[in-house]
Structure 1
Amino acid sequence: MPLPLPPVPSTSGLSGLPRLAQAEAAAHTRYGQHPGGSVELFGPLVAVHDAPDSPLNSAWHDGTRPPTPQELTDFGTYCAAHGQRPTLHLLSHAAPTLLPLLGERGYTLTSVLHAYLHDLLARPAQPLPVQETTDAPAWAAVCAAGFGPGSEAIMRRVAQTPGTRLFLAGPPDGPGLGAAALSVTTFGAAPPDGRAGVAAALHGTSTRPEHRGQGAQTALLAARLNAAAQAGADLTGVFVTPGTPSERNVVRAGFRLAGLRLTFSA
């Protein structure tokens, strides 16, 4: 039975999705590169085991060709060996060629996020001070306060991942109005244009409930876009839940809607 797929947004930004997919697949390996973790490649699938019951246990499709039936079988075997549910992230430009195979293997669509891109050429003003920090526990505490109970463990994991840069909104001597993270990844050539480059991913963004509506997210977006440009990135991506205040913030910051991030599980 064909898998249901939400409509892909019509946008000129779609050509950037293959590059974003390859950058995300490359960045995904960071979560398995530690004692007890694991990273395995199954053709275009980059699979990671972080820890038992970790929400990071998944695979990214690198945006190129579909996996062969055997590669998808091997990915399922890998997941079974690590006691994790087969979970696969892909971007919507690759969905038409993957859906038949995923449907045959019992995968269902479990999550849809909007994928936004920014070319870093025109960056927004920063309405509030933002500090970059190396205090992972403090950052995780602020971030978890915004996401709510149950998010503490994953925020600590994100904060401790190599290559993750941490930002707090508000005065240097304050408690932090909100928190956000940035990861910069060098990746190889990707279709359709064959370009190589440096991509930045914006993630882990939250604002304390009592400080929402005060510009913290806008400030964190601006600070990270500037940091990404200074790090040499030529492409920045962010995934947001459709229809949320976060989506409105990224649109105001100059991001363009490029497609969808689709998550399938078996």
Structure 2
Amino acid sequence: MHVTELLERVALVEAQAHARYGLTGAVGYFGPLTAVYAAPGLVLNTAWHGGSGLPSSEDLNAFEAFSGQYGQAPTLHLLSHAAPTLLPELERRGYVLTSMPHLYTRHLRDLPPVGDFAILEENDPEQWAQWSAQGFGGGLDIMQAVARAPDTQLYTAWLDGQPAATAAMSVTGGVAALHGTSTLPAFRGRGVQTALLAWRLHQAVEAGADLASVFVTPGSPSERNVARAGFALTGLRLTFRQS
């Protein structure tokens, strides 16, 4: 599959999956944009550009009105294949680039071994969110929103009889999106996230996925982990906020 086609596929499923965060708030569709208002102050209150088409001026106007209705600064995610064409219009409207994580993808064949860690699917979203927030050092509200979202699988890795790390996965359109990665401070540097990464790849195959995707901070330990697990750098996720 050509890189542009791969980016379009990931963008489409990310936009589709993004809607689940607005089920307790609001979801708006504006051309190729899927916008969500989840709860006050959440970073999930954004729009995703999905697929190959570009939003019209009318689409952007409607999205900005949707954001204003909930007191949110319009914030938009798009992948790097769409950025060159849309950037002039976003600049004209006063949007500024706020983050640019790397997108890695991996076809689900020749998977790495799972290893010997005890990894369990977590059935208590609130408990998972608390452990995840401890690993992040805050952000309980966002992890609760992630944990409660429909069609999200939650995992906890255990070491020495204690919860050591968390991770999440959602499968949409055959693409397994890996997210919710967090390691509690006492267990860092022991390979637990590598094990959770491999575990989710195997779970993704069982769920019928043929591709996995993950966003990571450039130069981070997470980026090194996904590269070692056979992921390839595919593009960027650009986030723009209207100032």
- SS of residue paired to 1:71: helix
Q: Which of 165, 184, 189 lines up with 1:213 in the alignment?
A: 189
Report what 1:223 is aligned to.
199
Q: Give the CA deviation at 1:138.
A: 1.9
State yes or no: 1:180 paired with 2:167: yes
Task: Report % sequence identity.
Answer: 54
Q: Which of 233, 240, 243 lines up with 2:209 in the alignment?
A: 233
- SS of residue paired to 1:85: coil
Q: Give the CA deviation at 1:199.
A: 1.1
Q: Give the CA deviation at 1:232.
A: 0.4
Q: What is the 5 A alignment of 1:117-156?
A: 117-127=105-115, 128-149=117-138, 151-156=139-144
Mapped to 1, the partners of 2:27 and 2:233 lie a distance apart of: 30
Report what 2:177 is aligned to.
201
> TM-score normalized by structure 1?
0.87
Q: What is the 5 A alignment of 1:1-266?
A: 13-34=3-24, 37-127=25-115, 128-149=117-138, 151-170=139-158, 174-186=161-173, 198-266=174-242
Mapped to 1, the partners of 2:150 and 2:209 lie a distance apart of: 18
Q: CA RMSD in A?
A: 1.3
Mapped to 2, the partners of 1:49 and 1:155 lie a distance apart of: 16
Mapped to 2, the partners of 1:55 and 1:222 lie a distance apart of: 28
Q: Give the CA deviation at 1:154.
A: 1.0
- SS of residue paired to 2:219: coil
Q: In structure 1, what residue type is equivalent to 2:49?
A: H
After superposition, the Cα gap between the structure-2 partners of 1:161 and 1:234, relative to the gap in structure 1 and judged at 3 Å, is same
Structure 1 contact 137–156 (Cα < 8 Å) conserved: yes
Q: In structure 2, what residue type is equivalent to 1:32?
A: G
Structure 2: which 5+ runs fail to align? none
Mapped to 2, the partners of 1:123 and 1:160 lie a distance apart of: 29
Structure 1 contact 17–259 (Cα < 8 Å) conserved: yes
- SS of residue paired to 2:162: coil
- SS of residue paired to 1:176: strand
Mapped to 2, the partners of 1:124 and 1:13 lie a distance apart of: 23
Mapped to 2, the partners of 1:105 and 1:71 lie a distance apart of: 13
- SS of residue paired to 1:233: coil
Report what 1:192 is aligned to.
none
Matched residues, number: 240
- SS of residue paired to 1:65: coil
After superposition, the Cα gap between the structure-2 partners of 1:246 and 1:14, relative to the gap in structure 1 and judged at 3 Å, is farther
Mapped to 2, the partners of 1:152 and 1:119 lie a distance apart of: 32
Report what 1:193 is aligned to.
none
- SS of residue paired to 1:170: strand
> Deviation digits for residues 16-72 of structure 1, max 9, x if unmatched?
1110000000000000112xx111111011011111111110000003111111111
